[in-house]
A and B are shown apart, each in its own frame.
Chain A
Amino acid sequence: AQSVTQPDIHITVSEGASLELRCNYSYGATPYLFWYVQSPGQGLQLLLKYFSGDTLVQGIKGFEAEFKRSQSSFNLRKPSVHWSDAAEYFCAVANTGFQKLVFGTGTRLLVSP
């Protein structure tokens, strides 16, 4: 069965510093991978997705993620964090048949001034 691990529960980054959020997945075939962001009390917003092709995918709000098959990873990055990026971030992989998503437990990003 598919699974997603986000090893960092909380991360604190200074405003203007770079960010990398880790995501490791378990899936036998080529995965469909996603990153979502959730602001407090809100629903989830899709940041970016990887289906195939270029392993570096660009998303909204200046985020990007790199798919590394050899490491089973799909880490999210941003070169310069803004205070408005403080939120919870979820990595997800689609199951076989693409009917469901398997989510990681999330990483809460705190941005310090």
Chain B
Amino acid sequence: SQTIHQWPATLVQPVGSPLSLECTVEGTSNPNLYWYRQAAGRGLQLLFYSVGIGQISSEVPQNLSASRPQDRQFILSSKKLLLSDSGFYLCAWKGQTNQPQHFGDGTRLSIL
């Protein structure tokens, strides 16, 4: 069966520091991959999605970037974190057919 892993689960970073969040999927190949952010008490905002290695679509202009160096690996990065980058970050995957997205357990990011 397919599984999705996100780490770390919790992260506290100072303003201006870099960021790297990792997401990997097991048990499937060539998945679509997604990064979402959920601010406190808010809905989900799609940040990036990828339909293949090296293919990244950005949904909103921001301080973050994403990369997909391997088929089942999706990385969310920032060179310099802002206070507004705080939130709950969720990774998700789906197969190439018309299937639902499946979510990881998320990373709680706090910026001090």
Contact = CB atoms under 8 A, between A and B. Distances in A.
Interface of A: 32, 34, 36, 41-46, 49, 51, 90, 94, 98-101, 103-106
Contact of B90 (A44, A49, A104): A44
A42 B106 contact: yes
Nearest to B51: A99
Nearest to A102: B46
Interface residues of B, number: 21
A2 to B, nearest CB: 12
Interface in B37-72: 42-44, 46, 49, 51
Interface stretch (B12-20, B73-81, B97-105): B97-105
B46 A90 contact: no
Contact of B105 (A42, A46, A103): A42
B106 A43 contact: yes
